[in-house]
Structures are given as C-alpha cells and as structure tokens.
Amino acid sequence: MTREVLALAMDAGGTMTDTFMVDRDGSFVIGKAPTTPWDESEGFIESSLDALAQWDLDERAAFSQFEVAVYAGTTMLNTLLTRTGRRIGLITTRGFEDMLVMEQGRQVWSGYSYADRLHAATHVHNSPLVPRRHVRGVSERTDMFGKIPIPLYEHDARRIAGEVLDQDLQGLAICFLHSYANPANERRMAEICREAMAARGLDLPLYLSSQIRPVIRENQRVNATTIEAYAADPVRRQLHNVENSAVARGFRKQMTTMLSYGGLANIRHPRLHETLISGPIGGMLGAHYIARILDTPNVLAVDMGGTSYDFGLITNGTFNLNNEPEIARFRLALPSIELDSIRGGAGLYLSVDPITNRIIMGPEGAGANPGPVCFDRGNRQPTITDCLAINGYLNKDNFLGGKVKLNLPAARQELETQIAAKVGLDVHEAADGIIKLWLQTAMDATRRAIQVRGGDVADYVIMGYGGAGPLVLAGVSEGQPFKGVVTFPFAAAFSAFGCTTTDYSHRYTRSSLFSIASAADTAAKEALAAGLTRLWNELEAEAHESFVSEGMDLAKVEYRRVAFVRYGGQLDEVEVPFDRAWQGTPADIDHLLERFEDLYTKMFAKAAKYPKAGYAIFQVALVASIETRKPEFPLLAEQGPTPPAAAKKGQREVYLDGRWQSAGIYDMELLEPGNVIPGLAVLEHPATTLLVPGTRQARVDRRKFIWLDNLQRGEPST
C-alpha cells in the first residue's frame, strides 16, 4: 500500500534542524541535519531527505502530498542578536526621540547576571536598532482616551519625512504616543511619507505601530514595530527560500510558521516579529498535547539541545502566557507561551579560569558549525558533548545515524590539554565532574521553575526532549519525587512534532481601559459588555480581512474571545478565554470574572484571591483559528517485559560516578510496548540517547513512550 504523507514540520535550532513527518495513519518519522544559517533551505532539504529515506519515499511524490508544511526557525532572533538587519528610520512624537536610547528600566538590565546587576559599573545600554541620527520627532499628540488635542502638524511632518528619506534607508517605522487608542495621526503621517517617497522615486516599506502592535505602553510598542521593520525582511527571505525549495520538489501549498503564542501562520503574515521564539514554543505545544493524551494536568517540560536548556510549566492543563516577554534584551508587548531558558546546551564551550582555576561552562557554544571537537570540523575548544563522547555516553559510529563519525581521540586530547591537566585530574574524571556540574545546573533550574510558582515537584510529570533531553533526564530528576519521568523515541524532533499539534491561527489584540467593582450593578456590567463587544467586533473584522488575503476558507474559521483580567491595583494579568457564545450581557460579564478567579486560583494560591479590589481589563484579544489534522498515538498491545533480541545491541563501557561500568546497549526504535530495561543501560536512537542509571529502569508504555521508573518503586507512571 502506498504511504500517504500528511504533514511536515521542521524546527531549525541553533545547532540542528529537526524534521517531524506524519502520514495519514498517524505514523511518523524524524529527520535531522545540521542547521545552515547562511541559507536555511539547505538544512531544510537535507533534514527532509533524511526523514524520507527512512520511509523509502521519493521526495517529489512526498512533497506533492503534504497538506501542511510548518517551518520554525531562529533567523529573526539571530538577526537581532548579531545586529544584521535593515537600515531603518523611526518617526515618533516630538520630545520622545530618545526612547530607544533610554529604554525601559527592566529592559536595561535584562540578561545580566546577579553579580552584574549588583555592580552598575559593568552595565551598558543595548545598542538601539535605529541609530539616533535616523530618528525624528513630529509635533502631534493623541491622549490615552483616543482624543487628539494636537493634530499632526503637516508642514512639520513633510519636512521630517524628507529628512528621513534622504538618509538612504531600507524601511521606515512610525510610532506615536497612544496611537493604539486612535491611529489617525499615524495613518496621516504614513500618507505624507508615501507622497515624499513618490516624489523621490522610492518605495520603502512602512510599519505603523497601530497596525503592528496596537497595545498600551509605548516602549513595548516601539520595540515590536522597529523589530518588524529591522528584522522581518531577512526572515521573510529565508522563509521564502525554504518555501521555494519545497515548491521546486512538488509542494502545492504555502509554507506556514509558528507564532510565539502557539499558532500557525502563513509566512506572508504581516507581523513576523511574532515568530521570534517559535522553535521552543513548539516543544511546549507538543508537551501540552501529550499531557492531554495522558490525562496529566501538571507537566514540567524540559528541552535540552546543543545551544540552550529551555523549560516551561503546564499547570492544571494550562500553560501561562507572558504578555510582555524579554527576548534578546528587548521587552515586547508580544503574548508568548512562558518559557525559561539558560545557556546550558550540550554544545557549551569549556575553559579554565586562569585566576581561580575553576572550570567554566559557556556562555558561548560551538553550534552546528563547526560543532564540538569530536565532530572534527576544525573546532579545537572542548565542549560538554566532547565529555559525553569520551566517557561512553554517545555511540561514535551512530551519531545522527552514522552521518557524523565522532573523533574520540581528538576530543580526549583537547580535554586533556585544555581542562584536565590544568585542574590536575584524569581526563575521564574531569569529564565526569563537568557532566555532573552541567546536570546540577539544569536540576537547580528545573526545581526553581516549580518552586517559585508555589508548586510541588511531586505533582508534576517531567517530560524530557531535544537532542540531549533524554540523556540528561535521569540526572535532572535525580532525588526529586516527580510523579513520573517520560521521554519519547522522537524526542530529538519534539519541537517540530509540537508544530503539528496546533491549529492554523492568528491572534489580534487591542488595548482597553475597563474597570469594574466586585459588587457592580447591572448598568455597569452592561457598559462593560458593550465596550468588550465593540472591541471584539473590530478584531473579528480585522481577522476576516487577514484570512481572505491569505486565501483561507472562511467557513472553517472559529473565533475565541480572550480578556486579560487583573485585580485592581495589580501589575500583571491573567489571560481568560471566554468559553461560551458571547451575547454581550451582564451574565456574560459574571461568567468572565468567574473564569478569571477560577484560573487565578489554579495558577496561584487560593489565598491570593482578592475580589474586593475589583477588576481591570487593559487588553483584549481575538484568536481566529482553523483546525488542522493532528498526529495520533493509538494504544498498542503489550509484548511483555523482555525486549526482542534484535533490540539488544551489546555492551559498552561508560565512565559514570568515577569508574568505568558496563552498560547494556539497546536500539530504541526496536523496543516494544511493555518492555522493561533495567539500568545501567543506554537506549540509542540515531538522533538521541537515553541514559538509564543503575537505580532506574526504562519502561515502554502502550504508546511507545518511555518512562524512567525508580527500581525500588517500579510502579507504573501512566
């Protein structure tokens, strides 16, 4: 029977590009290739072909069948970090020309270590995306209620437009105070700029903050607008290269990408800054999808790759949205699934501090090119991956399915010379200590992720994924009473898998100024309902226009209304979905506030509930979505605890806990439901490795998910 492939999802991380491919029966396969930042379409094709080869499929036949192709990359984030975007200008309200230079207080210190926060002498401001010489102020003013006490001074605007356009720019951003409440002045300024461009024979893209991010707080709004102007073009160029590569192989649709709040969008989406952290978001979506399948409401999702260690919480079936995340040292009004991250990937460089003689991990890493020393591509600074390689954790002949042959002598030599000899240790002893330090750093971070939110580790299942996620899963959960510890044969492509679990959706937001007392009368509730109805109707009209422009079937669009509610006097809000048909009645207001208090008490302690303070709604959103086909994980028949003979690959010496130990080696893909593998063991997959310590056992459940149980307990985790 001919295999019908349904969807392709890809996550281009800092080190590897992962592919997750699904057929119509719900079966899946993963592919992997090094990321190619100079042209991401190269890594896209190589990773796709790696997956197709495992199904023995012709690339043209497969690409012509795909109904959905999702690509989540890091181009925009890298463009910001390396400051390689376009030359842009900014026109703002007169008197606020320095807002990019001054920054917001919380943004100024973003990314600094605790020690550097204590000592201001080490502090420097971010380099603004728009140099001060390319910023101009125009006389105008809109107030917070949308009234215009000072209309745009058009003679001033024409002069400023000419000055900015004579600076050899590649794009222009416009951000006026309170334009979210009334965009009239911004729109008129854009018209004047277009007239000035026409007179000069120019056709530069214009970006208006009232279109890009029409929400309160000018710092976050100007950040979003300038990032869109500065970095969208390099991202769109990479995405179109990827799409063109797919089309050349028979792809009939348009490429989609992942948005930071967890939805798919066409690569022609006008607000591409919403894709800033698309890759890690896929992992959280995948964890949420698996959590629903397992009926597990509380999950700690941990993603260990070559560059970073990302982790996020799902509590009571809900992940938290951060409405103002700090990304690349920018504070943005961009709803994003909340994630924490540390520079803890397996590709971190290792060195020895010449003064303290202490081993230092990172913060820089080897990435995919040139990669660790053992990749033998020219790098000679050792990494954590080199420690794992020389101590037997990794199969030198089966890394990436044998595509990369690990050069263990080279890794051992550099670790000996640059690390072990300087600290007076045997090279394997030094590598073992480094691995333990690496795991301890990750363990501390994961434990804090739960504790700072008032949770209990015993209530959570920890899910490990990413290329190195299964390898560290035992270490980061050691001594912690997690409810369960689980990973997956497709862990290396889990973020790509997560991209196939979400719907095609866009989110539209508006700022608002609503407040209501806890004992409000019917008239107050009617007024609030009318205000919410007006905003949601405006957003629905915007969504309709967007979906028409993208050629989507409007009959399939579903709308979900969202209000961001807080108690009076608080600074942060809770995203509250309205989960029934909106009629705009006082009863709807009662239901909305009840939903807020229900979510609030799930996310925080019940004692934090404080209705006497009243309620405020400073932002609303509308999520417009079209449902997509999801992967399936049917329950399979158990085959007993003994793995099939073909799955046992033999023994390998692993240096663990200060000595060489013999570990059983198993092929992860050949394990069957019900199989139990006691430690010490290493379960290998071409794209990942699971370490099973001597105190644990690996158990394959009926969906072929792999659980790490403590030997002394041995009770089922599902």
Are residues 267 and 338 both part of a single domain?
no
Strand partners, 709: 697
Which of 425, 449, 482 is the last residue before a domain boundary?
Answer: 482
Q: What CATH code is carried by the domain that includes residue 519?
A: 3.30.1490
Residue 176 in tokens: 């006026």
Query: What local confidence, expressed as pLDDT, does residue 461 receive?
Result: 94
Instruction: Confirm whether 636 is domain-assigned.
Output: no
Instruction: Confirm whether 640 is domain-assigned.
Output: no
Beta-carbon contacts of 210 under 8 Å, excluding residues fewer than 6 positions away, are: 179, 180, 183, 186, 187
Question: Which pLDDT tens digit goes with each residue over 204-235?
Answer: 999 999 988 888 888 889 988 999 899 887 78
Are residues 475 and 357 both part of a single domain?
yes
DSSP structure class, residue 538: H
DSSP structure class, residue 320: P
Are residues 522 and 602 both part of a single domain?
yes
Are residues 343 and 468 both part of a single domain?
yes
Determine contact, residues 275/260, Cβ cutoff 8 Å.
Answer: yes
Return d(Cα 160, Cα 166) in angstroms, integer: 10
Query: What local confidence, expressed as pLDDT, does residue 113 receive?
Result: 63
286-to-122, 264, 684 alpha-carbon distances in Å: 40, 14, 22
What global pTM score does this model have? 0.81
Query: What local confidence, expressed as pLDDT, does residue 691 receive?
Result: 92
Instruction: Confirm whether 491 is domain-assigned.
Output: no
Instruction: Confirm whether 490 is domain-assigned.
Output: no
Mean pLDDT of 20-41: 81
Q: Is the pLDDT of residue 574 over 90?
A: no
Are residues 220 and 333 both part of a single domain?
no
Return d(Cα 629, Cα 223) in angstroms, integer: 35
Are residues 657 and 585 both part of a single domain?
no
Return d(Cα 485, Cα 663) in angstroms, integer: 21
Q: Is the pLDDT of residue 400 over 80?
A: no
Per-residue HEC secondary structure of 356-394 comes to CCCEEEEEEECCCCCCCHHHCCCCCCCEHHHHHHHCCCC
Return d(Cα 640, Cα 618) in angstroms, integer: 56
Which residue is listed with tokens 């692993």? 654
Query: What local confidence, expressed as pLDDT, does residue 714 receive?
Result: 44
624-to-322, 560, 592 alpha-carbon distances in Å: 19, 6, 19
Instruction: Confirm whether 665 is domain-assigned.
Output: yes
Return d(Cα 254, Cα 483) in angstroms, integer: 42
Query: What local confidence, expressed as pLDDT, does residue 715 receive?
Result: 46
Owning domain of residue 665: 645-710
Residue 219 in tokens: 């710092």
Query: What local confidence, expressed as pLDDT, does residue 631 receive?
Result: 80
Q: Is 4 left (phi over 0), alpha (psi -120 to 50) or beta?
A: beta
Query: What local confidence, expressed as pLDDT, does residue 279 receive?
Result: 65
56-94 per-residue burial string, b: 16 or more CB within 10 A, e: under 16: ebeeeebbebbebbbbbbbbbbbbbeeeebbebbbbbbb
Maximum alpha-carbon separation in the chain: 83
Instruction: Confirm whether 520 is domain-assigned.
Output: yes
Return d(Cα 339, Cα 302) in angstroms, integer: 10
Instruction: Confirm whether 194 is domain-assigned.
Output: yes
Helix (H) or strand (E) holding 244: helix 218-247
Instruction: Confirm whether 280 is domain-assigned.
Output: no
pLDDT tier for residue 72 given thresholds of 50, 70 and 90: confident
Question: Which pLDDT tens digit goes with each residue over 535-556?
Answer: 999 999 988 888 887 777 778 8
* Other Cβ atoms closer than 10 A to 479: 6
Are residues 70 and 197 both part of a single domain?
no
Poorest-confidence range of 46-60, 113-127, 646-660?
Answer: 113-127
- Residue 332 has phi, psi (to 5 degrees) of -125, 145
Query: What local confidence, expressed as pLDDT, does residue 686 receive?
Result: 79
Return d(Cα 179, Cα 212) in angstroms, integer: 11
Are residues 128 and 215 both part of a single domain?
yes
Share of the chain above pLDDT 90, in %: 41
Mean pLDDT of 137-162: 94
Return d(Cα 505, Cα 431) in angstroms, integer: 46
CA 576, chain centre distance (Å): 21
Question: Which pLDDT tens digit goes with each residue over 244-283?
Answer: 999 999 998 888 888 888 878 888 887 888 887 776 788 8
Beta pairing class for 5-12 and 68-72: parallel
Are residues 336 and 438 both part of a single domain?
yes
Residue 505 in tokens: 């959706």
Question: Which pLDDT tens digit goes with each residue over 605-624?
Answer: 777 888 899 999 998 999 98
Which residue is listed with tokens 């890091």? 74
Q: What CATH code is carried by the domain that includes residue 57?
A: 3.30.420.40
CB-side neighbour CA atoms (13 Å) of 678:
8
Are residues 14 and 101 both part of a single domain?
no
Are residues 108 and 222 both part of a single domain?
yes
Per-residue HEC secondary structure of 74-122 comes to CHHHHHHHHCCCCCEEEEEECCCCCHHHHCCHHHHCCCCCHHHHHCHHH
Return d(Cα 692, Cα 685) in angstroms, integer: 14
DSSP structure class, residue 613: G
Return d(Cα 639, Cα 641) in angstroms, integer: 7
Query: What local confidence, expressed as pLDDT, does residue 30 receive?
Result: 83
Query: What local confidence, expressed as pLDDT, does residue 716 receive?
Result: 45
* 17 class by beta-carbon count within 10 Å (0-12 exposed, 13-18 middle, 19+ buried): buried
Query: What local confidence, expressed as pLDDT, does residue 112 receive?
Result: 67
Return d(Cα 504, Cα 476) in angstroms, integer: 34
Question: Into how many domains does the chain fold?
Answer: 5
Determine contact, residues 221/331, Cβ cutoff 8 Å.
Answer: no
Residue type, 584: G
Residue 425 in tokens: 């240790």
Taken in order 446, 451, 457, 461, is the CA torsion positive or negative? Answer: negative
| Mean model confidence pLDDT for the chain | 86
Query: What local confidence, expressed as pLDDT, does residue 717 receive?
Result: 41
Are residues 605 and 682 both part of a single domain?
no
User: 490 or 530: whose pLDDT is higher?
Assistant: 530
* Other Cβ atoms closer than 10 A to 169: 18
